[in-house]
Structure 1
Amino acid sequence: MRNASGTRERDLAGKLGISEAELIAAFTGYGTTRLAASPDRIMPAIETLGEVMALTRNPSAVHEKVGRYDNFHAGDHAAMVLAEDIDLRIFPRHWVHAFAVEKETDAGMRRSVQVFDAAGDAVHKVFLRSGSDLAAWDRLVGALATGETAQTLDVVDRVPAEAPKADPARRETLQKEWRRLTDTHQFLRLCSKLKMNRLGAYRIAGAPFVRALDPGSVSPMLEAVRDAGIEVMLFVGNRGCIQIHSGPVETLKPMGPWQNILDPGFNLHLRADHVAEVWAVEKPTQRGPAVSVEAFDQDGALIFQVFGVGKEGRDSRPAWGRIVEGLRGRADLEAAQ
């Protein structure tokens, strides 16, 4: 979202030394309405809007999907939206501030629901499109408005990314337990049990579980997916929301430091220059090996993950596996293992 000068709100907030949520809140009563932030209330209301654009980002990647919200599954720790095009994993404790924003642009009025965490960083945004239901929008704002009129917002200090955490003395235990995995979701529980985190575990696991890739392999990987015409699952998230695209990658357009996917219904904007480490990872599951490419920034924060899509009658995983095998390794990290 841009202001009148064409600067994105997030960038303008940074220049002002405040969070994006504080900047949005400053316009309360002038296009901004404070909303209840609970996904249990927001998601059912968004389902009534029809076709919208969902946006989830972190400092290095912006993931945009067009579709309809549906099939919301509530949960205190984790919730989900499992619609045909909109696929989200939601962590409600980070949904702290929410706003309905109406902003006049050169293209007309732009309406959005914007959710932020306790530090005022964006967690998830929903933008109405030309075919969205405006009557449903009015009902959403009326039902979720908190009545708060303050143009200031209390935020906390941003929690920095957790540095890579590993215990080389427990490497054999990590490898032994890794072989026993039956689902990718078990991996983070394993890391927690061993007092490690994702990147720390990757750095010590070694073959055949992980392979360090050249940080410059991201664009060749996306180009190979495009050229092979296969489907992938591409995850981008933050502490409060993970958004997933399942499908092909068709149009790549690099622009300066950005690598962009510009497809109908799906856009990705990736700061390729933020990528510090890339790992090819293989985890056993009941459906066979789950192979992923995962990118991290210089602070150890996860930027994105890509998996092959396995669908009955149209399984892209073998072709995806061949693409990953062909990516160039990074000798210094491999030698450190």
Structure 2
Amino acid sequence: MTLDTLAPVSPADLRRARADAPKTRARDLADTLGVTEAALVAAHVDGVKVVRIDPAVDRLMPAIQALGDVMALTRNVSCVHELTGTYEDFHSGPHASMVLGAEIDLRMFPKHWVHGFALLDGPCPSVQVFDAAGDAVHKVFLTDVSDRAAFDRLVQDLRLGDQSDDITLAARKPVEAAKLRHDKADELRSEWGALTDTHQFLRLASKLKMNRLGAYRVAGAPWAFELATGAVTKLLHAAAKDAIALMIFVGNQGCIQIHGGPVARVEPMGPWINVLDPRFNLHLRADHIAEAWHVIKPIRDGMAHSIEAFDADGALIVQIFGKRDPDTAAFTALVEGLPRKAGE
């Protein structure tokens, strides 16, 4: 039974369940109850401790910039990406917006910023945004040095008139499985070789009626090589050991969050592989990785190498590139030595 077919749970029942499990993470409790995380948060709206706010990116980002040092969190089902820093250099756009700060680097897709809440209670007040289906898009948590007065202004300025404790959600769209066109393999490989920028790739795949994972499977060598599923964990450990700077992308349909720099402390914990650095944390469910790919794309000044992991449904979990400062030679050598899938 999927989450979308379960009977609704009343806000009062959700509040009781939260009171009975105060230390359980909201996402985990929502999954246990068979509801979305947004429904669990909305059940606690009282206009005082939990407040509905306008989630519009163009209004929210300037207010978040005023908070100073905060922790930004973006996740998908299998990976959580946490950056501490200040929101800087916001660029608005009707279809895509950006934050290009020294530490917090985001790509945002405003149409998916549908439900917004400010949580004022507890040690880490936060702003939390969810998509139409109730899945988390982006969260911002205050730190000990955040500007609390600016947070209070944010809540006051963005407060909505509707402070009800229920929520209307759309059905969650299923993950798009790999779309393959083997009859287009030669055309795909030829046009792939003519790319000059990594952003051109998805347009190429779409033109040929494929998606990212489908194109990797169809193209194969010399552009895409399937790896052993443990390759991502090996990559993180090796990058930490040799101080190789990475670009780590984790996202969902509404937001992509990017870490640019080295990783230092890489720790396994059960099925999770974790990066536990002072200003960057990553929590990756290694057991969710069904496919891992070493992907090579031509760019104007060479080749861009990436490691990309997908779950069993074909959803992208994480992408890792070498940070192009000062160069990516060490990263390229590392990924070329990662174990390939048996038979590759």
TM-score, with structure 2 as normaliser? 0.93
> Which runs of structure 2 are paired with 1:85-124 in the superposition (5 Å)?
85-104=103-122, 109-124=123-138
Q: Could you tell me how far apart the structure 2 residues matched to 1:310 and 1:287 are?
A: 11
1:213-272 Cα distance to aligned partner (Å, 9 max, x none): 000112111111111111010000000000000000100110000000000100000000
Q: Could you tell me how far apart the structure 1 residues matched to 2:28 and 2:278 are?
A: 26
1:14 alignment partner, SS class = helix
1:243 corresponds to: 257
1:16-64 Cα distance to aligned partner (Å, 9 max, x none): 2211101111111151101111111100100000000000000000000
1:283 corresponds to: 297
Q: Could you tell me how far apart the structure 1 residues matched to 2:233 and 2:318 are?
A: 13
Q: Percent identity?
A: 57
User: Does structure 1 residue 20 correspond to structure 2 residue 31?
Assistant: no
2:96 corresponds to: 78
User: Does structure 1 residue 293 correspond to structure 2 residue 307?
Assistant: yes
2:339 corresponds to: 328
Q: Could you tell me how far apart the structure 1 residues matched to 2:293 and 2:121 are?
A: 41
1:270-328 Cα distance to aligned partner (Å, 9 max, x none): 000000000000000112100000000000000000001112xx22x110000011001
1:173 alignment partner, SS class = helix
C-alpha displacement of 1:6: 1.1
> Which runs of structure 2 are paired with 1:144-223 in the superposition (5 Å)?
144-223=158-237
1:103 alignment partner, SS class = coil
User: Does structure 1 residue 64 correspond to structure 2 residue 93?
Assistant: no
2:70 corresponds to: 52
1:118-137 Cα distance to aligned partner (Å, 9 max, x none): 00000000000000001101
Q: Could you tell me how far apart the structure 2 residues matched to 1:58 and 1:250 are?
A: 23
2:31 alignment partner, SS class = helix
2:244 corresponds to: 230
Letter of the aligned partner of 1:260 in structure 2? N
Q: Could you tell me how far apart the structure 1 residues matched to 2:119 and 2:241 are?
A: 39
> Which runs of structure 2 are paired with 1:6-17 in the superposition (5 Å)?
6-17=23-34
Q: Could you tell me how far apart the structure 1 residues matched to 2:253 and 2:57 are?
A: 14
1:310 alignment partner, SS class = coil
User: Does structure 1 residue 41 correspond to structure 2 residue 55?
Assistant: no
Q: Could you tell me how far apart the structure 1 residues matched to 2:35 and 2:25 are?
A: 14
User: Does structure 1 residue 139 correspond to structure 2 residue 153?
Assistant: yes
2:10 corresponds to: none
TM-score, with structure 1 as normaliser? 0.95
Q: Could you tell me how far apart the structure 1 residues matched to 2:61 and 2:180 are?
A: 37
Name structure 1 gaps, 5 residues minimum: none
Q: Could you tell me how far apart the structure 2 residues matched to 1:279 and 1:246 are?
A: 20
Name structure 2 gaps, 5 residues minimum: 1-17
Letter of the aligned partner of 1:326 in structure 2? G
2:118 alignment partner, SS class = strand
2:117 alignment partner, SS class = strand
1:265 corresponds to: 279
Q: Could you tell me how far apart the structure 2 residues matched to 1:26 and 1:326 are?
A: 50
Q: Could you tell me how far apart the structure 1 residues matched to 2:277 and 2:336 are?
A: 26
C-alpha displacement of 1:5: 2.9
1:253 alignment partner, SS class = strand
2:238 alignment partner, SS class = helix
2:179 alignment partner, SS class = coil
Letter of the aligned partner of 1:178 in structure 2? W
Two-structure CA RMSD over aligned residues (Å): 1.1
1:162 alignment partner, SS class = coil
C-alpha displacement of 1:160: 1.3
Q: Could you tell me how far apart the structure 2 residues matched to 1:242 and 1:282 are?
A: 21
C-alpha displacement of 1:192: 0.7
Q: Could you tell me how far apart the structure 2 residues matched to 1:224 and 1:127 are?
A: 31
Q: Could you tell me how far apart the structure 2 residues matched to 1:53 and 1:287 are?
A: 34
C-alpha displacement of 1:331: 2.7
How many residues are matched? 325
Q: Could you tell me how far apart the structure 2 residues matched to 1:103 and 1:204 are?
A: 51
1:132 alignment partner, SS class = coil
